[in-house]
Structure formats: C-alpha cells, structure tokens
Chain A
Amino acid sequence: MAIQPVSRFLASRQGIILIGAIIGILAPLLQKFGNPANMGICVACFERDIVGALGLHRAAVVQYIRPEIPGFILGSLMAAFYFKDFRARTGSAPLVRFVLGFCAMVGALVFLGCPWRALLRLAGGDLNAILGLTGLTIGVAIGDQFLKHGYTLGRSRPTYASAGLVMPALSLGLLLLLFFAPRFSANGPIFFSEMGPGSMHAPVIMSLAVGLIVGIIAQRTRFCTMGSIRDVLLVRDLHLMSGIIALTIAAFATNLILGQVHVGFSAQPVAHSNHLWNLLGMVLAGLAFVLAGGCPGRQLILSGEGDGDAAIFVLGMLTGAAFAHNFALASGPDALVDGALKVGGPSIWGMWAVAIGLVICLLIGWTMREKIEEVR
C-alpha cells in the first residue's frame, strides 16, 4: 500500500469524517454484542474497569480487563511503525501530567464517561450528555485562555526506542492476564464482575479487533474530541470537529437501526441526571485534557506511538480511577427504588474532589506560563 496517498487522505477533511463515521458505527455494534448500554467505547470507564480487575479498587460491579484499551495502544503502535512516525520521547513535566490525568479521571467519573462516551450517550438519546458536553466545552474554553497566555509544560526530548515501547508492553501484559485469567490468591485478583456493567462485554476477540482498528485509524487522523472543541474556539479550525460530528451522527443512525435510542434525562443506563455535577465533572475533565494536550483516547494513542508523557497521563488516570472508587468520589447512577426515581450523582466527597481538582488545574494553568522565547 502506498503510504503517502493514504496518509494524505486520512489527514483530509473527507478522511476524518470517514474515520469519525467508522468509530460511530463500531461503538454501538459493541453494545449490541454485549458492552454496556451507551458505553460501546469509553476510555474512562474501561480504564476504571481494568483497575478494578487488578484489584486496585474493589467496586465489584466494574471489574473487567477491557481489551479495547490495550487494543487502542497496540493499534496506534502498529500504525506508527507502518507509517514511520513512531517517535520515542519524554520529559515534559511528567509529574504534572500524572496529576492532570488523576484530576481528569475524577471529573470523568463524576460525570460517568469520557468525551467519547458523552457523544455515544447523546447518540443513544441520553440528554444528560448535553450537560457533560457543555461542561467539557467550558473546561476547554478555560484551558484555551491559559494556552493563549503562554501556558506550556515545556519541551519533551527524544529518548530510547525501548522507552517508547513501555506502554505497548504493559498492554500486552494486560491481554495475557485477560486471556489466561490467573487467580493470584483465594480472594485476590484477577477480578471479573459477575453483575453490573463490568459483567457486560462483547466477545473478547471482537472488542480487541475494534480496539486495534480504532487505534490504527485514530493514530493516523489524530482524532481528539477535546482537540475538536479547542481548535474551533482557539483557531476557528473545524477539521477535527467534522470528525466528531460524523461520529455522533453515525452512532445515532446505528443506534436507531439497532433499536438502542431511548430519549430522556432520567434513569439512563450507567448515568445520573444530577445536572450540576454532570456539568462540573466535565468542566474539570475538559480543563485537565487541554492542559495535558489531549482527551483520554488521544492520550492512549500517543502513548502507543512513543509519547512517554502521554503514558504518564494514562497512569494518572488509572490511579485516579482507583482513588475515585476507593474514596467514593465516583458518581452513582440514577436508580428506581420501590418504583420511585432516585437521582444519582456524586457523594459529598466527589463534590469536594471536583472542587479541589479545579483549584489544582487552575493553579497549574496559571503558574506554568512562560514568555514565548522561541519567536525570534
């Protein structure tokens, strides 16, 4: 296959629309074949499930090694090698990126989803996603102001190729744990949920295949939900946004065909209708994504093509997921109790965590700015 024409097409407007549409079709299909409703693909939820499977949190209903996540990383690695843009690099404020990943995950688990899932929830008729996406836009807009005023985490440096292969190696390790499902002690991991969202999954091979495909095409197109909003606000560029819109329309159409659209706010699957905290959770997540330079999906893709700093962000997210469940920061979903709707949402701890996370991110954005010395 000729590399140049393919790369050129994927970098074009038609290319990103096609890729958005493909992801928009694949995600609802994963739901049809077993993934939780409105959760065909969710980077935050799936990372949380993996952390649970490893026993780093003990919420019994969200424990499963989701093969989509290692699939994204390995797909990205394959594309980066094939198209010759694997570049091992690291060294741009790794600890700050870890903290941003942590904060992003807390925000996402208060909303109950990453930006990809926000779009998929909307495409399934869950109107709470509008609050989440509004919050995401507000968070991105705040982050844009920092970027305009010189925010930077500094330059990364090239490093050893083997250093860039750490995340793909960890991904392979996760897949081995999934395939062989060893039991490390009588009451220990690996845990697999027997009920709840963690027990619902498409066949392993199908999930892994979709993960690899999405990883490959997202690496080529630089698909990024946060970036799409940022580019519109900051440089009036609609390139990424056209892919996001294509994803949402394609997912909606696929959901319609599969009978997976249920319009409303209340009692949506794995979601709550506490409007304020749907919004504020995603304000925090959006701000953390901008400051770190990518949404959770994009960070996974970058970690597969050699970016050690994105890998640290991912590890921050994984740690954040463990804390979010161990410390009861993550929101509970809406529930029907004796026929009456009980609106879900975060505990008081979750509310405080979002507030503290916002303060931390604002401090990072405010204090890590420099005059632009490169312009000379």
Chain B
Amino acid sequence: MHIDTCGLSCPEPVIQTMKAINTGAQSLRVLVDNTTAMENVKRMANSKGFTVTMEPQGELFVLHLNKV
C-alpha cells in the first residue's frame, strides 16, 4: 500500500498511516516531505510493531514500513 502525505499538516500523515495500519496492512510505503512527519510516522509505526527504513528521495523521504 502506498500513502502520499506530502503537503499535509501535522498530524494528518500519522493519521493516514495509522488508518492504513488499522485496515490490516502488513507492508506500507509512505511518502513524506518533512522531518517532523517522518519522525512522527516512524515513532507511531514502531509502537505498532513495524520496522521502518528511510530512503531519501530528492527533498522527500520514502518510509518503508514492514510488520515484524
């Protein structure tokens, strides 16, 4: 599943990711455009039992979330 959170205000990136996790997704690709959203999504995903790897993409970040 792919989520694009670019341009969204805090805490919408976290809410969108959380909603996707709550639908039972085991693997997610989340596009974020700022470090605040990146850290917030990472912290929430870790707390839900996901590993998070970050891949810079120009000025954006791609977060790969995988259920442990």
Question: Which residues of A pack against B, CB within 8 Å?
Answer: 7, 11, 85, 87, 89, 92, 147-148, 152-157, 222, 227, 230-231, 234-237, 239, 292-294, 309, 372, 374-376
Contacts and interface: CB of A to CB of B under 8 A. Distances in A.
Given A92-B7, A227-B10, A376 B39 contact: no
A375 B16 contact: yes
Given A152-B12, A239-B43, A374 B7 contact: no
A329 B34 CA distance: 38
A227 B11 CA distance: 8
B35 interface: yes
Contacts of B39: 11, 222
A89 B11 contact: no
Given A235-B44, A375-B1, A89 B7 contact: yes
Contact of B9 (A148, A153, A231): A153
B8 interface: yes
Given A89-B7, A152-B8, A372 B47 contact: no
A85 B34 CA distance: 8
A374 B34 contact: no
A280 B42 CA distance: 35
Nearest to B30: A374
B9 A147 contact: no
Given A237-B44, A374-B3, 6 more contacts: A154-B7, A235-B14, A235-B44, A309-B9, A372-B19, A374-B4
B15 A147 contact: yes
Contact of A294 (B8, B10, B44, B47): B10
Interface of chain A: mostly helix, strand, loop or mixed:
loop
Nearest to A7: B35
Interface string B19-61: 1100100000000011110010001100100000000000100
B60 to A, nearest CB: 11
Interface of B: 1-12, 14-16, 18-20, 23, 33-36, 39, 43-44, 47, 59
A348 B67 CA distance: 56
Contacts of B5: 374
A326 to B, nearest CB: 30
A92 B5 CA distance: 13
Contacts of A376: 1-2
B6 A147 contact: no
Contacts of B14: 235
A7 B38 CA distance: 13
Contact of A234 (B7, B8, B15, B20): B15
The 3 closest A-B pairs by CB, nearest first: A155-B7, A293-B9, A156-B7
Contacts of B4: 374
A237 B16 contact: no
A119 B39 CA distance: 26
9 contacts: A85-B35, A92-B7, A152-B9, A154-B7, A156-B7, A157-B7, A235-B47, A309-B9, A375-B20
A375 B20 CA distance: 7
B40 to A, nearest CB: 8
Contacts of A92: 7, 9
Contacts of B35: 7, 85
A53 to B, nearest CB: 31
Interface centre among B3, B12, B14, B19 (most CB of A within 10 A): B12
A313 to B, nearest CB: 11
A230 B11 contact: yes
B11 to A, nearest CB: 7
Contacts of B6: 155
Contacts of A87: 33-34, 59
A222 B16 CA distance: 20
Contacts of B43: 237, 239
A234 B47 CA distance: 13
Contacts of B3: 374-375
A147 B14 CA distance: 11
A139 to B, nearest CB: 16
Contacts of B33: 87
